[in-house]
Every structure is written in structure tokens, then in C-alpha cells.
Structure 1
């Protein structure tokens, strides 16, 4: 498998996994995405308020000493692989604390809670409709 073929296979993996769900599961997932997003954001804001700070991430490039393969030719012209130490860059993700404005976080929490309540009824009716559209999967 060539490198481009392997990259294409890896890139399509999320699509293949998403296609594995039953029609009912796909219907429910498609129609409740916003509700799940708002719920996740609300949980994050409530966690920030409970801790008193938020977490953020940043990417940091660091050097790492590793073994690099090089090729040299012997007297007969054959390629011989040799290994020698070399420095390589790698990307590391750091989490760090960020101070929050409690009043702004509370307003955000209140708005997200109101949005979640509004989306809750719509999500429940979408789930009911998906279950009615695909009754063979009830069990």
C-alpha cells in the first residue's frame, strides 16, 4: 500500500464508522447533534465555574534525540543502512489554566441552559420520529 493510499484510507475511516450505525441511530444522531453540542458546552462551563478556571491547550514544538537511518555505499556500490543519533522535532500538546470571569461564565451557563431546554423538546420529538420511522429496530 502506497503512502497516499494509506492516507486516503485513514481519512475515510470516520465516514466508514459513521456509516456503521443502524438507520435509526443515524437518524437520531443527525437530528440531535446541536442538542449534544450544547450539552457538552454547558458541562464544560459548569466545570469551569466549579474549578474557578478554564483549561486551554496549545501546541508546542520540541526537539527529541532519536535514531536516524542514513545510507552509505560500500566499495562495491551496495547501499548499507547505518543508524546515528539525530534531533527531530515533534509536536506536544500542553494544557494550561486560564482565569475566567465568573459573571461572564454564569451568563454563558444561563444562556446555554436555556438553549438546552429549548432544544430538548425538539430533540425528544426527533428521537420519537426516528423511532417511528424505523420501528423494526425497537427491541
Structure 2
């Protein structure tokens, strides 16, 4: 099942029209800044930020079942192997609200700058790939 997921995602990503793909490429950085601005605004509103930490935890997994049992015999038990599973936790951390406010102002200024710069690229995409 997992081996079909990546080709399916690649196939779905290619479904956009050429104009949509061109515009998405032109405003990719703008969308990233929008996400960062929303995160920073949330941090200021809450008064703290979230920090995600990923740790790898050892777990036992069945990894080999061996040859099938002969008819009339009990099936063989699975062989267990050690594997690692990722566990992501999110915890609240203190932030400097003044520094976060300065960061937010910088992000908004950069976003406005990118919006002006990408407007011509979006117009060019629409002219190059009319729908």
C-alpha cells in the first residue's frame, strides 16, 4: 500500500493546469510567509509558542513468519525484530513577546514586498497560459 502512495501523490500533483502550476510556483514563498505570519500571530495572541520534538522509540514488530506450517501442524509464531517509531510531542515554551512582534513586523514587510514582486509573475503566467 505504501509503495502506491508516492506515485499517486506525484500523479495528483501533476493534475493542475499549466497556469495553476505556474502561479503556484510564483507565489510559493508568499504562501510560506503567510503560514509563518499566522504562526507568529498565534504565538503573540497566546503569549507562548509551541516547540515540536521528535524522539525515536524502540518497539518490537513482527518481521518474519517463516515458511508455512505443514497441514495439521500449528502455525509457527512470528519472529520479532526491534524497530524504531517516531513520536512527535509538542510543548509550550516561553517567548519574548517584543522580539516576536518585531519578527512579525519583518515577516509582514517581506510578504508585502513579495506580493508586489509576484504580481507581475502571476500576470505573466496568466498571459502565457490563458484558460
Any stretches of 5+ residues in structure 2 without a counterpart?
none
Aligned position for 2:20: 25
Pick aligned residue for 2:103 from 97, 101, 108: 108
Matched residues in 1 for 2:44 and 2:23: separation? 31
Larger relative strand fraction: 1
Counterparts in 2 of 1:122 and 1:66: CA distance versus 1, 3 Å? same
Distance 1:36 1:73 in 2: 53
- Tell me, yes or no, if the aligned pair for 1:69 and 1:83 is still in contact at 8 Å: yes
**Structure with bigger RCO (C-alpha 8 Å, 6+ apart):** 2
Note the alpha carbon deviations across 1:46-93, whole angstroms, 9 max, x for none. 111111111121113335577676548979xx9943258887642211
Question: What TM-score does the superposition give when structure 1 sets the normalisation length?
Answer: 0.72
Aligned residues: 130
CA RMSD of aligned residues (A): 3.5
8 A Cα contact 2:62 2:78, kept in partner: yes
Q: Give TM-score scaled by structure 2 length.
A: 0.76
Paired residues of 1:68 and 1:85 also in contact (CA < 8 A): yes
**DSSP 3-state at the match of 1:21:** coil
